[in-house]
Structure 1
């Protein structure tokens, strides 16, 4: 019995109340009994997940195939479902029918792949077709069976809702799930799978919209819904699939169409297709209010508050709904446009108020404090500009620039603001308008501005004939297409000066060489310079042109001439582009140089052959830099090709060829392979080079962790190297290094180790490698500090030794600084790693930076709880974190916060909580801010203590507040433990959100 897969976890021996999954197959009545319970455990959606995943959890031993078209039992050659598979799928569909196919429940409780499979199974049962969604075949609407109509509409509703749900619930990604064979959760969805499904759905979403619109236009349909009893379970001797299609619920047609209209309206709102959204929401509203008198809606799950919200979003009036302050703000901002239009005629509002409105809207939209229509700011600016023209005020601001930037839309808005005042404008007003328009014709570069004036008789009437002639000339210039030759300064004719000076010409060519990054232009410039008598070598032209010594020595050894100059300049240019982070440009230049050198390599010159190799390795180095720079978005890099080239580069060290890569390239190749998890290769690499030892040692640890899951201790090479870097042995001789190389002093060897470790840590990117090195440094700091109350906590600490000889001789400060830099770098690339966030909090805590510590602790909790929406896992956030948060609050004199945090402990520390509460009078925080935290207390013992404390102190306000809070708890004293636990979780989340707002945001 212990090997039997249970429906829910339990202890052994099995409880009599526990139902095994196959019992539902043997006795179908058990399913109805289970689902009829008030709070069935497991829930209906959990049952669906279990039924649909049991096939992947256990090996399929059955060979009997059920064919829906014949009664024959066929061999397992075609893609058919087994007897058990079909039975489990029918069970899943029966549970979904029990939920009345409520997509609100299914899309929230079921992973997207499970939803997809459920829909496919339903299509198979009702249409007898094996369908791979979203490529659903088009069914003819007339005639169509009742069951197929229901399934088709349900699928297409789910199609658009899945895209909508993903867009509205695309939460922060959690920490990467580590697969452990045998205990993988059935609801786990691998990264990228959901995005791939949504991407496929979006390609065919127009088809679903068309189908749903066709259903809405059909008038002679009689919708019915599949019921629990529609699906018939397979018996032991079943040879075909038979369902009771007569056993279906009739659906009110208005209810049916109301739900479809509502789903389409929400989807069009998401796509900002407001016209279509408004059309559907009006229909949904009308149908919904016609149904409001019915007792229970069988199919329609629309909620009134959400329907009213969609109506407000589409500017559909809703009776009896009071607009929120936010909605009133948006409406008032929009209405002020109409007010400004009217004021341009009456001119009652002082200009300063209008200017303030413009600045408020501009500042709010820039800072994202308010969201306004896209053209509202431009409309307000144009209305203010017209008012200033009419008042003959000095016009300050970039009005003309804003109109010009908006293009044709800007011109339309500006002239629309003018049209509003032209009819009632006085002669003086019209004169001012004409003067300003004429000024814009002369000075501005607004496209088609003069043509816009001439296209409207009302504008032309503002000018006399002479002014109109000027405007017509300007309009003709606008319409004239200028030849390209007139738009360029360089006509291809060289400038000929009669006072030519060879030194000035050389200087001009040198400046052109310095400024250009075009390889063709550099090639031509060098050819021109090659025939001149220069006074200084080319590499002295720019003092910033410096090459690494190995490269420089090879280039300088080449025969004096074009190839030497060209190689030097392009190598220097590539390094300039690397400094400015233009890696693509640098790679392009190096590829051009490599091709040029290869053309000269046929001469048999060994120096040219050597230069060709070095340039290729320089290009490899730049590609590695680019990969590190864009990490973790390495998809644009051909990482597999880079891995191969790195191994070839390192292989040159062991070859007999005299050409070897320079040390910087070797180091980067090793670190790149370390980040690409090429650990087996690194551990087998010859360790005669000091800069490969540390990478090999870390690779060995990573290999063992992946192999043994952190269950055993590992070789000490990495630990000993870090000790050598920070310990007293840096200045003392030793006989032999770890690599086996003997020496009389470790001065140079230690310097190599220190340089290797420091250089390697700055280039680490891979999560497992970062985790190993972080745990090593954290363990070393704990050992050297040797104070349990100030220990750092993270993964894999137990892998490393628990003691260090002569610990007082180590530089603990340097280790802490290095750990801080490494954690900062790791969180830059992986900001959602809970253990690293917690460790950063620990590090700030032990250093006395309490506000930063609580900030990182809260960030770790935010990620672990999915922004406080889920219970906080004790495996990641334990009592030690909460106790340190309490100490942080106490040091920051936030004693009420500390008292509330005492409730988060596994066993509430009442002594500490009372002490914090009693210290509240010393708090420097505002009283009203501290009072708000009382509503987050759910422990009655703490509240009773607060009542006594405030009574003793005569603090009547806080006493009443504590009584009010404890009263709200007593009202719920009869609730079961689950409800009380849920209420506590709500208060936890409320408190943590308040802390996050104070310390994180």
Structure 2
């Protein structure tokens, strides 16, 4: 680690001569400061670093060559007689004062740049920049240089100066790995190769690849050290000492270079923390850990906004803003970090065993800052950790929040409300009361509908209905609505509602809440909307069709959420189903629509029951129609597996994989299915690369994309260059999204 060789070509000549030669800075110690104080110095600071270090390498090579020539043996044929049995180890060759001066000049230029890695990375090649930083380490912390990549390196053992130079090196390692993942132009060199000689650009590129490969291997050590730095800056180290140009005296003819550490510049912990957080955030973003990346970027922006005059910290604000926007979109949180956000408070509560999480979610019910997927993750985590009481409270908070967005979750919480004690009911009514006091009119309407539905579905005289009627919630309802609340509370004709329950009380739905003022769940039409048993559905349809005279269109339009897949709808309207009466077609339509509705609500057992009934009816009428119904069952199974990662009874993964393959075969033979992309995605998730890559006649975009992806995954380990496969894959993506 201590020996750094700067790659260089042989016999290269400068393309254009600079206005000041490098050796002039050796002759006049004050010239460097005067030159760099100019507005646009020529050569630039980065060019000076390159010239000084490359010339130092040339001079050092000459010293080594001269030392080796002195070791040439005597006359030919003479036998050398060793004086000692044990040969002495060769002593390292000391650099000359000229070499030391050139290296110190390069370090002083870095000091004038205030160790701005972003500026140096643009103008200094990676091998030369590595030589500069290692030279800085050798001067400032010579005892640490050999253990620089040791993950056990203690931050507390470093001085303020050592903390700065070691963290600077690890910051550069992290930044180099991230930069290597993006296409960048190599740093242009001011030299042209002589014909027949090695191209210095090629030599430099090879050295760069070797360094980056080493950094990737040692990346965990750099990450650990920087994370430990952040902890130390909060407790042990209140600041760090940045070396300046005045710290390094030039060697004289009779004297060695002096190191004046009293001239260091003090850098606050906030500056270093902000800079480290930006670089670590970029690394976490590159690795796909967006939650950690967002946290680092948030801290970076918060601390940077507090800095009035930065000495060391330099952050690209546009890039920081882009990172924050990307993370906030991916995580579903607000990117505003001026004040501690609800997301920050929720994350802090998670670290403290969820202390105060309920109060945070109650606030979010009003501000609606957190994404529902994040809130759902909190709820699932509580369930996994068996914190059941807190889980129920968080679940109720999530239900109220979802209802304000127009998602009716009445049925999933019926059992909770039925069995709730007085404190739990008090909590729920308080949640609803807060919402009715502070939300918009449309959101209040959703909450009122939710309360009405809940009282309708609960047994008469339930504790919840009594709590609502005796609380201040009543003040948010008009007289007619209060009368309806009281009427629903005493209505005992609700036996048909026993069929409404969901098998998964934690499922989140996306079914919008709509309730007409004329809607009465005791009507026959209302019963049809709420029951899911095929026998009850048929009885209610007979009542509507035979006794009340409703035609097919009137029955189908009872719920605008009833949707039937296009292929099944066409079959029901085609001549293949002429054997069916109009009533049977209505019955099938409602069964299919309710099954699809249950799939949207993630009530998979109900959907399976309804679709099996459809399949049994159609099997006696049309094989094609029955086959289409079986495809809907397969879609339901795939959706259930995607949601729960489990298969239903009587099914297994090999069976689902086989059915998906049959589905793709049917599509490739010309039949139309509206959900073939789900089957493709499932086979990709199951790593069926061999099957997918062997497919032919894949004109469909999703199937072609899956085939190319499978081929790429299969061949990527065998082929060093996969540009053609990547281009074909991208072309397939374009064909999917082209209008």
TM-score, with structure 2 as normaliser:
0.43
